Structure 1
Amino acid sequence: MAPSKPWGAVRSLLVLAPVLILAPSIAYWNHKTLPAPLTELTDSVSNLPQISEAQILGFAKHLSEEIGYRTVGTEEHALADKWMVEQANLIKKQCEAIVAETGRKLECEVSRQEGNGHHRFDMMGKRLYKTYVNLSNIIVRISDGTEEGKKHALLVNSHLDSTLPSPGAADDALSVGVMLDCMRVLINTPGWSPVHAAIFLFNHAEESLQDGSHLFSTQHPWAPTARAVINLEAAGTTGRELLFQATSEQMIEAYSHVPRPYGTVFANEIFSSGIILSDTDFRQFEEYINITGLDMAVVGNSYLYHMRKDLVENIEVGVAQHMGENSLALIKYLTSDKSSLAELADGAKPPATVFLTYVGRIFVSYSYTTAKVMYGILFWFTLVVAKARNKSAHKNVFVPEQVDAAIAVCAGVAGTLIAPNVVAVIMRNVLNKSLSWFSNPFAPLLLYGPACLLGALISQYRSVEKVKEKTLWTSLLAMQAGIALALQLANIGSGTIFFMSALPLTIVFVLNPFFSQDPKQISLVTYALGQFFPVLTASLLTIPTLEVFVPLTGRTGAEAPADHVIACIIAVVSCPGFPLVIPLAHRFGKRALLRGIIVTSILNAASIAYFSARNPYDDMHQKRLFVIHMENVTTSEQHLHLAASDGAPGFELLVNDIVREFGTLDHAPAPVVMNDHNSDWDSLYPFSAPIYIQSYDPRFIRGSCSLTQGGRGFSASGDISERWRFLTPFKVPLAVPAGYASPWVTEKKFSISAIEDEKDLVAGTRNLKIKIDHPGLIWTVIAFDAHVLKWDLDDNPPDEYARHHVKEASFYGTNSYILEMVIKTSVANPDGKLLINYMGLQEKGIWPAKKDVKEEGDAAMALFERLDDWLDRTTGGTVDALLMGDVLFVVMDYWNPAHYDL
């Protein structure tokens, strides 16, 4: 019986279509599946306590909406502190009642820590110094009551505060609620007694650059007993809680015991690389306690990350249940006799495990050693398969054929990368439609997906009649297995994505004779089975990747190549996800391939046309606008500062409209040049400053909530070049009413004073203590140029004349701090005079956080109320504005051994 004639391209694609639809659908369903939320505190069948989503969200709602915006230094921050102390004492009271009734080995201790401190917090290639006064943490320790049980402890952390423009329901009131509910379940579970203590830290200053976790790590007596940490965070409001950082073998093993795992080595390595725009308290625990742990966060819908709509109503049903059940399981395991906490006292084993969650609750893990063996065997086997395919061919033919096939595959990969970047150039530079994909995390698939396919097809046009279909298969197998092995030999666990593609392709290729009547043909069944798992795997990775990167990349600054970053992400996931596009392109001949190129070009053009007419923003995917009402006490001027952190078109038009409505000009002035000496935006420093990179040290490090480049100890005295700015600011003059008397001069009188000042003429130094008074102001910043020899901020000031920024965060009602330093004088400045820019944020001048007391916010709040209403009406709710009232003054001092105002 003669072999049947192969089906044509259209018919074949129709047959394969169900696979291309089914696999992503399974991945999406898996990603969106969350546990059913529980409302009751106790299981009706077992009568045992259970995690309750209703209880968790009740706590989150109270913090985020009843108390409100809990920015460090505000009255609401103090109210949250009081509430948290009450909740901790309630837990202690319940615990003591249970012990009295049952005699269980259980002890609950409550500690409210209060302290001062300072630390260096390098980010975005900048040196930054933090100081804080009277900040607090609330800590609960649950143990069996013995000294032995408290010797090795598990630290569980979340933060009570929220950042400036956000009520922080998910970030991080949700985590606070999870920890409270976990404590309730633990102490009410009959028979439960921890072998190792659990320390629940409710730190009170993460958003001010991790001051609360620094305070605990460096000053609390329980900190040295912590052996591992579970850090709970949120950068979104939907989806499963993602494990994005696991720093030891022991903690990866511990995570395998959660009921609903959701973590991969890919997320772990991506975050460790530093390209994610986020950092957490985990940094302080690693640096100052030297402990290992797990960093977990809700990351879906990160459009609401640090935005006003981070509200309980926008937290997806089931999120709290998922986070609570996983956290409870980890706490139970790590405080049990099976835990590795005691072992961790002697040091953690660096992570050397490939781990991932596949479909459902399947958590797969294997060691790097096992991975190297498996990948090596697979690579060897693919070479055997490739050779067997050509067993009848002359030995001199095999290698040239495989080389030609490898060139064709590499050309396909190159085309897949180049074409979407060409589309990005067209959208950004030709059509001026940057970020057109922003409002939907999966929109980039529609914009750049056709371009990836087009690039792959075009790359095969010249080789379509030269390279055979089967040869391309065997080349693909060997290349993917080889890449997996090479990456794993470099101890990069993410190489498993190529292994997970190569393995099913190899299996179905070996089985192809069972599906095909002609041994020279590859059956469509082989294509269908071979393509299913690569598409499924790629979809499982692509969905969360886009959910995280699309919103955050869209806010990395107007000069950042956001469109190209997203285009490259789509291309990178397409290559291992759709490996059979290239051999399929060779299956039907040159004419069919040309028709495919034409059809794909039409789809690509249609996609560009659609997105060029698309608005990147809507009321749930908003443009972030930064607004500062600045009162300069030194010059008696007032300005409105406007900035955006994206490159979407239309910002200049919006600024012009705002200027005409609220300013004193007919049109907006030119954008302001930002650098380290422009102090107008020091409240947001270094987010406001341009990013630099040392050409000889292009390493990435993380920075809190910001994309960062550079390295710890970055010095301005290197070979550096400017990269890009996050903010594109405008400075608009405002009218000052006649006879206006600034309350910051007449009433509140914030100032900088030298309370001790000594000059050593022989040594050429000036030793002084500077007192900064800031009644009514929070998050103050001082910036100055000096050659600092010694100060109390750290032990290693830069040994050069340099620009310094010192940011302060203190508890509500704390109105001063002191900075001690020794500076070097010079011939040009023999008295060591200082020119200091001093800025602070009005505690009553933040909109909408302080709208209920707007009358106390002076001119800034009156303007913000009108501006916010105008923005909502004119933009249709597509803009979320951070509205801050700042006060600035500049002081030049003179040297005098007596007490004086600088």
Structure 2
Amino acid sequence: MLELARGVSQWAHSFKSSVIFLLNTGEEEGLNGAHSFITQHPWSETVRVAIDLEAMGIGGRSGIFQAGPHPWAIEKFASVAKYPSGNIMAQDLFSSGVIKSATDFQIYKDAAGLSGLDFAYTDNAAVYHTKNDKVELLKPGSLQHLGENMLAFLLEAASSPSLAKDNGHEAAAHTDQDSAIYFDILGTYMVVYRQHFANMLHSSVLMQSVLIWIMSLVMGGYAATISLALSCLSIILMWVLSIGFSVLVAFILPILSLAPVPYIASPWLVVGLFGFPSLLGALTGQHLGFVLLRKYLFHTYVKEKRTSFPSSQASLAMLEAERWHFKAGTMQWLIILMLSHYYKVGSSYIPLLWLVTPSFSYGLLEATLSPLRLPKPLKIATLLIALSVPMVVSAGAIVRIVGILIGTAVRFDRDPGGTPEWLVNVIVSVVVAAVVCLTMVYLLSYLHLSGAKRPIILVSCILFGLSLAAIVSNTVPSYTEETARTLNVVHVVDTTESNGKVKDYTSYVSLFSFTPGNLEKEVQQINESFECGRQKPVDFVTFSMKYGCWTSNDFESGWNPSEIPALKIKHDSKVDERVTEVSIDTKGSTRWSLAVNTDLIADFEFRVSGDEEKLVPAGEKSSIGGWHVIQFSGGRNAPRKFDLTLEWVKNATHSSGQTSEDKKKYLVKLRTDIDRVTPQVERVLKKLPSWCSLFGKSTSPFTLAFLSAIPIEF
């Protein structure tokens, strides 16, 4: 940022618009810095385009993973960037909710109505938000890549007359038809076109493809229709067996390996562990369909008496089956293009390329340039032309997305112990199988007549066995010092209050991980009398620890009972509409999370004690899982005393006939965090295994946390 500011200042005399460099804080607490700037700073009214520099890793290319809504920024970037990098596929995944996080760009776009670009590093995503997320690991080339692209873009944008107009908010205005489709080619060139052009292009290709298929089936008659159905059946079998073989490995891995996700430190292992089983399954499924189609075509040729020699009839049937399998691959991508076009998926250009290029190569080389006689083997040139363009365009994005998926596995379990240990493996295996089925569908059609099937099967089995052996023997470790398993070590003081009086409290050191798997190996090395299991879940307000480890050795030192937050009922009116007033004193903590039970509370107001201004005014409240969560992070002089006014849902009652599980529910939950290392925590931290790293995201408390709550039956 500072280097960009220095570079921009050298050309500022020719600018028609200013460039604001905004360094935000509180992004992980809830995008607080960006929200404060947009809602409170006078400069926010002058902003026309917003650029967000993010990270999901510590290196690689800084690529665009969100752009728009108006395409002005992405079009300018594509025209001037020296090494453009970005793909709308990442934007589709992000906007779909598959990636459950947000960036400051959401505030700029949703709250301020701005358009712009959102950049991020994505390499080595496994170290993100851990103690291993160090500046020295960031490669200088990555910084240079971002700097050169951004400097060129800022100079172009700031000098643009269209952005400097008084009605410059035109750049923020947009329609769905104006949104941009964008992708880079090998990081050297970026293609950008608008949605209305994509609609026309897709509609044209779809109409022509459907018309060609209808005409070919009409001309081919009943035999062509059955052949198409059988070749499509082979595609279905390819998908079923490819996913089946890969998922089977996914379930076996946690049983055989020391860690449920054993390839985090070595992502290339997924090629051997899931890629080759997927390939074997795909080849098996296609071969079964090929056998059925070959038998049908053989009987057809016998009936039609195309040749009097049975051997010739069998050869012709095999050659025709090979061609139908290739054409079935285009049918697969035609269906995908139809669906993506119907749902306006931005990355529809991928099925477009995988449909058009193979169709062109088949039509040119097999139909136009070949004599229209008896079937012949597919030409190798057909395959090369069919795969060259779509593979070059889409391979980089596929590798990057799979890498991010593997890297985020270290923080996959948002509620530690809340998901099965095999789930990450199943997700990765399905993604890898889908990539194999999508990209290998044309190649597999060549293998049924070649002598390459046995070598491919043999090599696949050997490489899968070697990969599995490396995992089982721990020759390739699941975690390393740099790519480590994420752990949290927290000294917890858990209290229950009634009418302002502490009834009891428990104090212990808690150990849990957002990485799937048990902690038996880690606990054994730490050797602090930890007990692990699910018998004692801990509610940390923003997440729940459903599996973890606890130790109560020397639990009284390092904190004082006077630090326990005060959560008191000031007044409870049960006349007509029930209203409850609660006072909150967070004591020494200026970083806390508060949850209000929205199943019982219709509305609430939240303010600093003695201040009439409401931090959270009355009005419609959002809810996740029946709770509205407030996260607060302030400075040294931030307030610590607050008032909460709760308006109950009408006729909300809680009889004594509730189940024991219902009685455990709370009206209000509070977690206050203190950045302090108690003696017990210090001992545990010193003994952490080398393959473990502390996880520092805001969903985790500091090393000292006080938990308080008001039960429903107060």
Residue 628 (structure 1) shift: 0.4
Letter in 2 for 1:772: D
Q: Quickly say closer, same or farther: Cα 1:890–1:401, change in 2 above 3 A.
A: closer
Is residue 2:286 matched to residue 1:417?
Answer: no
Local SS of the residue matching 2:109: helix
Report 1:594-673 matches (<5 A): 596-597=456-457, 600-614=460-474, 615-632=477-494, 635=504, 637-648=506-517, 651-658=519-526, 661-663=527-529, 668-673=531-536
Is residue 2:393 matched to residue 1:520?
Answer: no
Local SS of the residue matching 1:462: helix
Q: Is the 8 A contact 2:511 2:549 kept in 1?
A: yes
Local SS of the residue matching 1:409: helix
Q: Quickly say closer, same or farther: Cα 1:246–1:345, change in 2 above 3 A.
A: closer
Is residue 2:190 matched to residue 1:358?
Answer: no
The aligned counterpart of 1:814 is 638
Q: Is the 8 A contact 1:779 1:808 kept in 2?
A: yes
Q: Is the 8 A contact 1:783 1:805 kept in 2?
A: yes
- Once residues 301 and 222 of structure 1 are traced to their aligned partners in structure 2, the CA distance between those partners, rounded to angstroms, is 36
The aligned counterpart of 1:446 is 272
Alignment match of 1:772 (pick from 580, 585, 588): 585
Q: Quickly say closer, same or farther: Cα 1:781–1:417, change in 2 above 3 A.
A: same
- Once residues 180 and 7 of structure 2 are traced to their aligned partners in structure 1, the CA distance between those partners, rounded to angstroms, is 32
Is residue 2:69 matched to residue 1:234?
Answer: no
Residue 571 (structure 1) shift: 1.7
Residue 281 (structure 1) shift: 1.6
- Once residues 611 and 803 of structure 1 are traced to their aligned partners in structure 2, the CA distance between those partners, rounded to angstroms, is 41
Letter in 2 for 1:469: E
- Once residues 338 and 667 of structure 2 are traced to their aligned partners in structure 1, the CA distance between those partners, rounded to angstroms, is 58
**CA-to-aligned-CA distance 1:716-736 (integer Å, 9 cap, x gap):** xxxxxxxxxxx6322322224
Local SS of the residue matching 2:511: strand
Q: Quickly say closer, same or farther: Cα 1:329–1:655, change in 2 above 3 A.
A: same
Q: Quickly say closer, same or farther: Cα 1:429–1:258, change in 2 above 3 A.
A: farther
Alignment match of 2:91 (pick from 262, 265, 268): 268
- Once residues 382 and 668 of structure 1 are traced to their aligned partners in structure 2, the CA distance between those partners, rounded to angstroms, is 63
Q: Quickly say closer, same or farther: Cα 1:477–1:761, change in 2 above 3 A.
A: closer
Local SS of the residue matching 2:62: strand
The aligned counterpart of 2:302 is none
- Once residues 625 and 387 of structure 2 are traced to their aligned partners in structure 1, the CA distance between those partners, rounded to angstroms, is 60
Q: Is the 8 A contact 1:791 1:797 kept in 2?
A: no
Structure 1 residues not aligned, in runs of 5+: 1-177, 690-726, 846-856, 896-901
The aligned counterpart of 1:303 is 126
Residue 459 (structure 1) shift: 0.7
Is residue 2:43 matched to residue 1:222?
Answer: yes
Q: Is the 8 A contact 1:780 1:838 kept in 2?
A: yes
Report 1:82-93 matches (<5 A): none
Identical counterparts, % of pairs: 19
Local SS of the residue matching 2:548: strand
- Once residues 442 and 801 of structure 1 are traced to their aligned partners in structure 2, the CA distance between those partners, rounded to angstroms, is 37
Q: Quickly say closer, same or farther: Cα 1:868–1:525, change in 2 above 3 A.
A: same
Local SS of the residue matching 1:238: coil
Q: Quickly say closer, same or farther: Cα 1:287–1:344, change in 2 above 3 A.
A: same
Residue 297 (structure 1) shift: 1.0
Residue 626 (structure 1) shift: 1.1
Alignment match of 1:198 (pick from 19, 30, 33): 19
Residue 766 (structure 1) shift: 3.9
The aligned counterpart of 2:161 is 337
**CA-to-aligned-CA distance 1:535-593 (integer Å, 9 cap, x gap):** 3334212221122111113431252510011111112222232222331132238xx75
TM-score (norm 1): 0.64
The aligned counterpart of 1:312 is 135
Q: Quickly say closer, same or farther: Cα 1:555–1:771, change in 2 above 3 A.
A: closer
- Once residues 827 and 473 of structure 1 are traced to their aligned partners in structure 2, the CA distance between those partners, rounded to angstroms, is 66
**CA-to-aligned-CA distance 1:366-389 (integer Å, 9 cap, x gap):** 233433443444455556777898
Which one is further off, 427-436 or 483-492?
427-436
Is residue 2:547 matched to residue 1:734?
Answer: no
The aligned counterpart of 1:562 is 424
Residue 640 (structure 1) shift: 0.9
- Once residues 456 and 207 of structure 2 are traced to their aligned partners in structure 1, the CA distance between those partners, rounded to angstroms, is 35
Report 1:469-508 matches (<5 A): 469-508=322-361
Q: Is the 8 A contact 1:383 1:478 kept in 2?
A: no
Residue 519 (structure 1) shift: 6.3
Q: Quickly say closer, same or farther: Cα 1:607–1:186, change in 2 above 3 A.
A: closer
- Once residues 603 and 841 of structure 1 are traced to their aligned partners in structure 2, the CA distance between those partners, rounded to angstroms, is 49
Local SS of the residue matching 1:200: coil
**CA-to-aligned-CA distance 1:300-353 (integer Å, 9 cap, x gap):** 111221011222210012111222222233333333213387143773333533
Which runs of at least 4 in structure 1 moved beyond 6 Å after TM superposition?
A: 383-391, 514-519, 798-802, 825-829, 891-895
Q: Is the 8 A contact 1:497 1:576 kept in 2?
A: no
Is residue 2:685 matched to residue 1:868?
Answer: yes
Letter in 1 for 2:340: L
The aligned counterpart of 2:314 is none
The aligned counterpart of 1:124 is none
Letter in 2 for 1:268: Q
* Structure with bigger RCO (C-alpha 8 Å, 6+ apart): 1
Q: Quickly say closer, same or farther: Cα 1:803–1:550, change in 2 above 3 A.
A: closer
Residue 598 (structure 1) shift: 5.6
Cα root mean square deviation, aligned:
3.7
Q: Quickly say closer, same or farther: Cα 1:475–1:622, change in 2 above 3 A.
A: same
- Once residues 172 and 350 of structure 2 are traced to their aligned partners in structure 1, the CA distance between those partners, rounded to angstroms, is 34
TM-score (norm 2): 0.79
Residue 444 (structure 1) shift: 1.1
Alignment match of 1:781 (pick from 593, 596, 610): 593
- Once residues 381 and 800 of structure 1 are traced to their aligned partners in structure 2, the CA distance between those partners, rounded to angstroms, is 47
Is residue 2:126 matched to residue 1:293?
Answer: no
Residue 244 (structure 1) shift: 0.7
Q: Is the 8 A contact 1:638 1:734 kept in 2?
A: no
Q: Quickly say closer, same or farther: Cα 1:522–1:788, change in 2 above 3 A.
A: closer
Letter in 2 for 1:624: T
Report 1:73-152 matches (<5 A): none
Residue 790 (structure 1) shift: 3.1
The aligned counterpart of 2:408 is 552
Local SS of the residue matching 2:5: helix
Report 1:833-848 matches (<5 A): 838-843=670-675, 845=676
Q: Is the 8 A contact 1:480 1:502 kept in 2?
A: yes
Local SS of the residue matching 1:213: helix
Q: Is the 8 A contact 1:630 1:888 kept in 2?
A: yes
The count of residues paired between Structure 1 and Structure 2 equals 637
Report 1:679-698 matches (<5 A): 679=539, 681-682=540-541, 685-686=542-543, 688=544
- Once residues 751 and 588 of structure 1 are traced to their aligned partners in structure 2, the CA distance between those partners, rounded to angstroms, is 76
- Once residues 430 and 368 of structure 1 are traced to their aligned partners in structure 2, the CA distance between those partners, rounded to angstroms, is 48
Local SS of the residue matching 1:536: helix
Q: Quickly say closer, same or farther: Cα 1:220–1:453, change in 2 above 3 A.
A: same
Q: Quickly say closer, same or farther: Cα 1:741–1:288, change in 2 above 3 A.
A: closer
Letter in 1 for 2:531: A
- Once residues 511 and 801 of structure 1 are traced to their aligned partners in structure 2, the CA distance between those partners, rounded to angstroms, is 57
Is residue 2:449 matched to residue 1:587?
Answer: yes
Q: Quickly say closer, same or farther: Cα 1:525–1:805, change in 2 above 3 A.
A: closer
- Once residues 326 and 114 of structure 2 are traced to their aligned partners in structure 1, the CA distance between those partners, rounded to angstroms, is 47
Q: Is the 8 A contact 1:354 1:367 kept in 2?
A: yes
Q: Quickly say closer, same or farther: Cα 1:877–1:587, change in 2 above 3 A.
A: same
The aligned counterpart of 2:197 is 370
- Once residues 134 and 584 of structure 2 are traced to their aligned partners in structure 1, the CA distance between those partners, rounded to angstroms, is 39
Residue 637 (structure 1) shift: 4.1
The aligned counterpart of 1:148 is none
- Once residues 750 and 220 of structure 1 are traced to their aligned partners in structure 2, the CA distance between those partners, rounded to angstroms, is 33
Q: Quickly say closer, same or farther: Cα 1:449–1:320, change in 2 above 3 A.
A: same
- Once residues 578 and 382 of structure 2 are traced to their aligned partners in structure 1, the CA distance between those partners, rounded to angstroms, is 79
